[in-house]
Structure 1
Amino acid sequence: MDSKHQRVKLNDGHFMPVLGFGTYAPAEVPKDKALEATKLAIEVGFRHVDCAHIYNNEAQVGLAIRSKIADGSVKREDIFYTSKLWSNSHRPELVRPALERSLKNLQLDYVDLYLIHFPVSLKAMEKCKDAGLAKSIGVSNFNRRQLEMILNMPGLKYKPVCNQVECHPYLNQRKLLDFCKSKDIVLVAYSALGSHREEQWVDQNSPVLLKDPVLCALAKKYKRTPALIALRYQLQRGVVVLAKSYNEQRIRENMKVFEFQLTSEDMKAIDDLDRNIRYLTPVILADSPDYPFSDEY
């Protein structure tokens, strides 16, 4: 666990860095912040960048990546870039144009991973992989039943390489993680530090994860921040984790997750914090028959 460029092998043979940089920001944050933050993230060592069409900042994030390639900091193949297909482009004939639109915004030839943002068909995604526009394809916000539906799909060509879901000590997704591991699907954690109150789908009454007494006590023990404890927890249980911040100090701080290790007792203490609290519940999609959060996991 000492290498800051540690990667996990995906079921299609590609590799994904275990620590990712999340680029989402609320609408009121100026878009050029995404440019500066992504450049800094690459400078301090992040090699996995997570974005999406719906974030409306792929042009800035793409510019940041290209500028770090241009100045010789990294090569394109050093960067693992994830984009996501939004819910308005799920009809098969809209999938490739949506990906091509993202690539045009990014000014990149391909993405490393293309995710279905919410549960839908995989067939058109497979064609994007065949065309070389996406190296790997995966899913986001799928529950076990929806994953099984895809895995049992007649003529499935490519198994999803990952399932990106909300995951943190208050919602540790143990059952879903075990299921994904059994199917050689990587679990990727978003909202790994809880979530910001200003985001539109966050329950304002939910507890603040990073103020949890157990995380704070462990932070004191290891002379780290509660955020680093929450990130380290995910890495040690085999979860790829996205750290989202536009704050320079915190972006630098998050790279220190490789500098220490939690004991099995500490891991157990964090496991015991699970209380099935979901910060992000997009009520706008709650009436959909594909709404993923009604099942147990």
Structure 2
Amino acid sequence: MSSTTKALELLAHFSALKPEIGLSEMCRLAKRDKATTYRHLMALEAAGFVEQNHKTKGYRLGPALLQLGRLREQTVPRETGAAAPMSALSELSGETVHVTVLSSSTIFALLSQESPKHSTRAVIDIATFPLHATASGICALAFGPDDLFAIACEDLAPFTPTTPTTADGLRILVEDARSRGIARSNGQFETDIHSLSSPIFDQDGAFAGAVSVASVATRFTASLEQIITEGLIQASRDITRNWGGIIPQDIETAWSKAIASCKEMEQTS
């Protein structure tokens, strides 16, 4: 991994809940020594990607990212294309909906919307999503580049007692996602949250990201799963179309089987 890549990876640690990070904390988050982390921060600061708050000595995202963000949305309008389908799915399901994008081997948060239907709901407060523990990550492993699985297996950190910590355990979740066209995380990242995730494809026909619904586990019934599954599929189609892509036929076939399975479960519950 190049020094440039390692420096840019530091940007992923910033979030709305953690807009400013000191050097010592960044060392801990990045799992790097102080000298290396400082050198990478200096490189990012020189490029305008981060800036230092001279009062607190902490680092925050820099102004250069504003220009890049605006240019990205103008040329590849991902947020615009995802907003309406995401909002419709949140209203339909009554749960929290979020859209993620894949960049290299990292799943980044793009948009999220909480439903006002329930006072207790899932909150999306992370900027990047673990490949092995979240529905978005498992979706990427199932439908994204082949080398992602090996990358995911390099860090199978346990978030809950049900987080897969072996390659075989993770492979089971990935194969289930491929068979259904829908990935799931039943408490693998947060014990009280069940999530379903459906793939989004770009104009090149490649996996570009995922749309997901995160539900409080106590509300996750067979009936709600059917509603979410059907809503996710429609949202995936809509966002994929808005991003200039086409849903592969094998995904459409898997979705048909997933809907049939949900209806069968709902009838027998």
What TM-score does the superposition give when structure 1 sets the normalisation length?
0.25
Report the TM-score when normalising by structure 2.
0.27
More helix by share: 2
Q: Which has the higher contact order (CA 8 A, sep 6+)?
A: 1
Larger radius of gyration: 2
